[in-house]
Structure 1
Amino acid sequence: MSAQVGQGAVPPVDAPTPAGDQPGPRPRRRVLRRVLLALLVVVVVLLVLAGWIAVRATQTVGALTDARDAVGDVQEALDAGDTGALRDALPRIQDAAGRAHDASSDPVWRAAEHLPRAGAQLAAVATVSAALDDVATGALPATTAVTDLLGDGEGLRGPDGRVDLEPLVTAAPDLVAASVVARRAASDVAGIDTDGLVGPLVGPVEQARDGLDEVASALETGAQVATLLPPMLGSEGPRTYLVAALNSAELRTAGGIVGSLAVVRADGGALSLVDQRSTDELRGIPEPVLPLTAEEVAVHGTGLGRFVQNAVMTPDFPRSAELLAARWQADVGGTVDGVVATDPVAVAALLEQVGPVDAPDGTTLDAETLLATLLHDAYLRYPDLEAADRFFADVAAAVFGALASGDGDVRALVEAGAQAADEGRVRVWSAHPQEQERIAATTLGAAFLSGPFEDAAGVFLNDGTAGKLDYYLRPTLTVEELRCSGPDPTATVRLDLAFDPPADVTSYPLNVTGTSGAVPVGSLATSIALYGPQGAPPQGLRTDAGVVGGTAETVAGRPVTVVGSRLDPGGRATYRFEVPVRDGRVDVWTTPTLTSPGAVSAACP
């Protein structure tokens, strides 16, 4: 009979299990141990990987430091045109950049680039290292060709002034390939999002971005020159060019009225002056030499196509070139392969390298006296405007003769010409479509309306006095305020005009004080044309007194406002206008003058 188990009774106890049949640790403990072991392995692996990355990072930093030092030597060699020093420095930068790339491109580093936060830093270092390696091995070697050509000038031009085109033809393919490599590297670094980087890394990445962009731009310029210059200088047959000498004492959009025209022949690298005319020989005609658009007439009037002097009122130099070439063909005869325009500041910079020249009347001109003699003294010495224009043309011919003779240091001449082009003081158009397509994409082509400059704004000056008083005008253009945040970032651009003629200016000849009758004798009238970027809303010019009234038009998709300015002797005027900030920067084209270049820019930090 079984006993009843009630309250307080002891429950039955199971018999003990034989020792050989006892169960192992509970499954949960076994799993926990495995997890802990796995975590321990992961931690050890991570520590090893972290140590590996730390070692690689140290190697990368050391290599990049070596590369930075080598870059300084390369830059010094390029600046000095020292081919030997450049060849000595290249292996060092190639070795350093290669070590940096190797250290930051192994599988462990690449995998770590996917880590939160730290991955962005590693990816940025890897991108910069790879870009430097690409440029060091695939782009910088081509620069030795440039230094060979320009180091002492012997490789580019002979004593007779003829340009040896063969070295340029030989160097062109390597320069083109190098420019492609450099631009690709610059684009890779430009694509790094610096917002996700730690503070100490932002500065070096931005420096690398700016430096690579500078290298790419320089190589692209070199490639363009080496590709375009030989055929344009007659390597494939003679070329003829119409050269317009601009007179900055009477402003037009491009820098001054056309003071004289000349035809220059280029044949196998040799330049010769074929024909020349003063504007007195190319007087105004009743109808435009080419049909003008309604927009052109609204902004510039029919004088754009009727007067040679006014052909450069449009900010689009290809259009100016077409008008000048058509006028030359109509009045003189013959077609040209291109048109070149230069202002007196550019000529003075070149004259500084070739030395003084003598004008036919016995006047000796050098870089220090050219501007004053040409743009001021000549008009007092020759009150007759026709005589003054002939003197202007004679001086232009004398300077050309000096430049074509082979005098002057080639490297210095190239640098002076490049600086003048950067300031908008030299403009080029080619009648050959393939050449023109390349030229129009550069500031040298000055294709403000027809080129790829749709985001640029422009503010251009045209004299309204019909005299030579702009010799005393000092315009200054600045980006006064840059607002980079918000949905529609904008910038305030400021134009200052200062007019300081001599006290006795009212006694000067009419060819100086002006014949327009628009303002009292001795005062200055100026037309200011403001061009917004394509698609931008209309923007007016304003002074402290408010918005200035003027003519509003749309040209090539750009809002245009034209206003008039009057300055009495000693007068000052300040104008402001707003332009949109696009892609973090503002570019404003303007009229190059005796004291200021033809463009200003500003970029968001």
Structure 2
Amino acid sequence: MTTRRRVLLAGAVLLTALLLVGGWLAYRVWQAADAARDLQAATSGADEEVSRLDVAALRSRLAAVQDAAARVHAAGQDPVWRVAEHLPVVGDDLAAVSAIGRAADALAGDAAPDLLDALEALAGPSGSAGASAGAAQVPDGWVDLQALADAAPALDRAAVTVQQLRADLAAVDPAGLAGPLAGPVAGVRDAVDAAAGPLQTVRELAPVLPDLLGEDGPRTYLLLSLNPAELRAQGGIVGAVSVLQARDGAVGLVGQRSTADLPELAEPALPLSDDELALFGDRLGRWVQDTVLTPDFPRAAEAASAFWTASTGQQVDGVLATDPVVVADLLGATGRTVSADGTELGGEDLLRGLLRDAYLAYGDPKAGDAFYAQVAAAAFAVLRDAAADPQTAGAAVQVAADAVEQRRVALWSADAGEQARIASSALGGAFLTGDPSTPTGTVGQAVGVFLDDATAGKLDVDLDARVAVTLTGCGSSDVRARIELTLGYRPPADVTTFPAQVLGDGGSGLPPGWLATNVSFYSARDGRLGEVRRDDAVVGGQEVRTARRDVAVVTSRLEPGATETYTLTVPAPASGITVWTTPTLTGPGTVSSPCPTPR
């Protein structure tokens, strides 16, 4: 056989092999696409069933979901497919389909059964949300949370699966994929990311959850209702204090105080550090409203607990805090209202009525605070009823998960062992005291931008505060983050006619209707702050170093209708940066900007 014929024959054989491989690959792609369509059909409508905690309906569709997901996964595991993932042009798309197939199979085969077990525990054996084995012993008006403790082991197993999937999918960049793939891949990543946070929080708290809910004996907690009409670092001044008791998996409201019932102390309720005195004066320990001046929730909770003991003689086992945005979201999601002084409030009406109208309607600021306390008590009843209603329990759970992610809910335990676990979770709020060796120790790499009202009024209802982060240098050794805080003040035209309890006590020295805000910038742990600029001009202010962080405090003074922008540029980790900030009516308590993960 001549050399020419050998070459032609080899070429023909190679061409035939390529055609066969190409045909096989096309067949596998068709299989994957067909299975993906079946998967979409099998999961259509599941969101509504989850919101109703309809475990029976979800279980009835699980087999079809698992079958379709397994077929998508099998197509992507074919040896020819895996080799083709290294080809130019189509390789990234094939690799993405393979990754999505693995994720779908793991979610359907491993995580979904555990999540259904958890939902079944939350819904109760009779299908009614919140029911548990000890439901008959739950006092009237209390919230039965035993089901949450019962669900924790299954949620723990699901969290392990989801966290692994999150790591796997992080290497897939939707931006580099073909148009039809980019959307679905981004959707799966977003869904896994959204599930990972709440599941991880449950996983971290699962070992201590029974004790927190009073399994080892009754527990007493303070619930701080924060008022963002007058900002503090944690979200707003303490507007009301409720006393909760947890016993045998159930929680009840057993006491209520407005801040008017808790006057300032002659001396701080606990020793304050030199750094705290420099930043806050002694207000952190003398006024219950100001215990949330510190951006570190464990320290704020310690101050609130000590203040309560000094004022009432009662010791508490822990402290929770939340704000009215959570209540408004809960009302909106469940279609409920709260009643205070004969007024029915719901959704956005609640925020306006609670944070502005009440202070205009009552001449005495103590009456406004009392109205706030009424709403706080009514909101607990709404939570109780929503958790017990199968039609709204799912929506209430979603609102709670969103509130934790936005840092609108925080928890502290007086027990050191329990607190160590809480501090490492999304509920801990441990900006200054977090342990860098824990899984959430990356909070040490976070930068802080916190707001505190300096007008002593209730004008922050009209403040639009937004934090934005822009990264440069991703993929290099010099990643930098430009942090931008924009403050826009838009009060009503007649703001100057408002009463003193809204305008402030005049201590800021500003004309009536103006707004003063102290802005505190915190560096990363062991980091440094650069220049702080206001509308491109460098501004100075108080400088302190605390908890291994640089702090710069500047004061914003805004006339009605004005806007200011503060910028700060700092080094950032290679993975990106997270900024902790004050949860406000217009923005959450964290803003993250990740660097894309290189493939």
Instruction: State the TM-score, normalizing by the size of structure 1.
Output: 0.81
C-alpha separation between the residues in 1 aligned to 2:252 and 2:49? 35
Q: 1:298 to 1:63 in 2, by over 3 A?
A: same
Deviation at 1:176, TM superposition (A): 1.2
C-alpha separation in 2, matches of 1:368 and 1:196: 40
Which segment is superposed worse, 417-426 or 220-229? 220-229
Deviation of 1:471 (Å): 2.9
Q: 1:516 to 1:416 in 2, by over 3 A?
A: same
Give, in angstroms, the shift of residue 180 of structure 1.
0.8
Question: What's 1:187 paired with?
Answer: 167
Query: What do the CA deviations read for 1:248-282 (whole angstroms, capped 9, x no partner)?
Result: 22211111111222221122344333333333343
Q: What is the rounded CA distance, in whole Å, between the counterparts of 1:535 and 1:299 in structure 2?
A: 19
Q: Is residue 93 of structure 1 aligned with residue 86 of structure 2?
A: no
Q: Does 1:595 align with 2:566?
A: no
List per-residue Cα deviations over 1:491-524 (Å, max 9, x = no partner).
4333232334445544444333222522234122
Distance (whole Å) between structure 2 residues aligned to residue 122 and residue 474 of structure 1: 45
Distance 1:458 1:137 in 2: 40
1:11 match: none
Deviates more, 1:296-305 or 1:520-529: 296-305
Secondary structure, in 3 states, of the residue corresponding to 2:310?
helix
Amino acid at match of 2:104: L
TM-superposed CA distance for 1:441, in Å, is 3.3
**Stretch deviating more after TM superposition (130-139 or 115-124):** 115-124
Work out the CA distance in 1 between the residues paired with 2:123 and 2:206: 12
Once the 2 structures are TM-superposed, how far is the Cα of residue 341 of structure 1 from its aligned partner?
1.1
1:470 aligns with 2:470: no
Residue 131 of structure 1 aligns with which residue?
103
Q: CA RMSD in A?
A: 3.8
8 Å Cα contact 2:410-2:429 kept in structure 1? yes
The one-letter amino acid paired with 1:483 is T
CA distance in 2, matches of 1:432, 1:425: 22
Q: Select 1:156's aligned residue among 130, 136, 141.
A: 130
Q: Which amino acid aligns with 2:563?
A: R
* Alignment partner of 1:419 is 2:402: yes
1:333 to 304, 308, 313: 313
Unaligned runs of 5+ in 2: 435-439
Q: Note the alpha carbon deviations across 1:499-558, whole angstroms, 9 max, x for none.
A: 344455444443332225222341221101112333443133322350111122333333
Aligned to 1:16: none
Partner of 1:483: 472
Distance 1:103 1:526, change over 3 A: closer
The answer to whether structure 1 residue 246 and structure 2 residue 235 are counterparts is no
Q: Distance in 2 between matches of 1:419 and 1:489?
A: 29
> In the TM superposition, what is the alpha-carbon distance from 1:131 to its structure 2 partner?
3.0
Query: Does 1:458 pair with 2:448?
Result: yes
The farther-off stretch of 245-254 and 83-92 is 83-92
| In 2: Cα distance, 1:56 partner to 1:340 partner | 53
Equivalences for residues 279-358 of structure 1 within 5 A: 279-351=259-331, 353=334, 355-358=336-339
8 Å CA contact 2:519–2:556 kept in 1: the answer is: yes
Give the secondary-structure state (helix, strand or coil) at the position aligned to 1:255: coil
Shift of 1:106: 5.0
Pairing of 1:209-228 with structure 2 (within 5 A) = 209-221=189-201, 223=203
Equivalent residue, structure 1, for 2:516: 525
**5 Å matches for 1:11-90?**
52-75=24-47, 77-79=49-51, 81-90=53-62
Find the aligned partners of 2:581 and 2:523 in 1 and give their Cα distance. 12
Pairwise mapping of residues 226-237 of structure 1 onto structure 2 (< 5 A)? 229-237=209-217
Partner SS for 1:295: helix
Q: Are 1:549 and 2:540 an aligned pair? A: yes
Range with bigger deviation, 51-60 or 469-478: 51-60
> What is aligned with 1:13?
none
Q: Deviations over 1:446-478 (max 9, x none)?
A: 222233322332211111122222233332333
Q: How many angstroms does 1:84 deviate by?
A: 3.9
Query: In the alignment, is the contact (CA less than 8 A) between 1:499 and 1:568 conserved in 2?
Result: yes
d(CA) in 2 for partners of 1:127, 1:278: 54
Q: Does 1:400 align with 2:374?
A: no
* Alignment match, 1:23: none
Q: CA deviation at 1:336?
A: 1.8
The alpha carbon displacement at 1:439 in A equals 3.1
1:142 maps to amino acid: D
Question: Does the CA-based 8 Å contact 1:519-1:566 persist in structure 2?
Answer: no
Unaligned runs of 5+ in 1: 1-28
Structure 1 letter corresponding to 2:363:
P
Per the alignment, do residues 558 and 200 of structure 1 end up closer, same or farther by CA in structure 2, a change over 3 Å counting?
A: farther
Distance change (3 Å), C-alpha of 1:346 and 1:33: closer
Give the deviation of 1:394 after TM superposition. 3.9
Quick one: which of 423, 432, 453 aligns to 1:440? 423
The structure with the largest alpha-carbon Rg is 1
Residue 580 of structure 1 and its aligned partner are, at CA, apart by: 4.2
* CA pair 168-341 structure 1, distance change in 2 beyond 3 A: closer
Q: Deviations over 1:408-439 (max 9, x none)?
A: 63333333333333333222222334543443
How much does 1:483 deviate? 3.1
| TM-score calculated relative to the size of structure 2 | 0.82
Shift of 1:290: 2.3
Whether 2:358 is the aligned partner of 1:378: answer yes
Native 8 Å contact 1:272 1:404 kept in 2 = no
Alignment partners' CA distance in 2, 1:577 and 1:133: 44
Alignment pair present for 1:513 and 2:500: no
Cα offset, 1:203, TM superposition:
6.2
How many Å apart are 1:217 and its aligned residue? 3.7
Q: Is structure 2 residue 255 aligned with structure 1 residue 275? A: yes
Per the alignment, residue 235 of structure 2 pairs with 255
Contact persistence 1:498–1:571 (CA under 8 A): yes
Report the Cα distance in structure 1 between the residues aligned to 2:195 and 2:372, rounded to whole angstroms: 40
After superposing the two structures, state which structure 1 stretch, 311-320 or 30-39, moved more. 30-39
Please give the per-residue CA displacement for 1:12-42, whole angstroms capped at 9, x wherever unaligned: xxxxxxxxxxxxxxxxx99999999999878
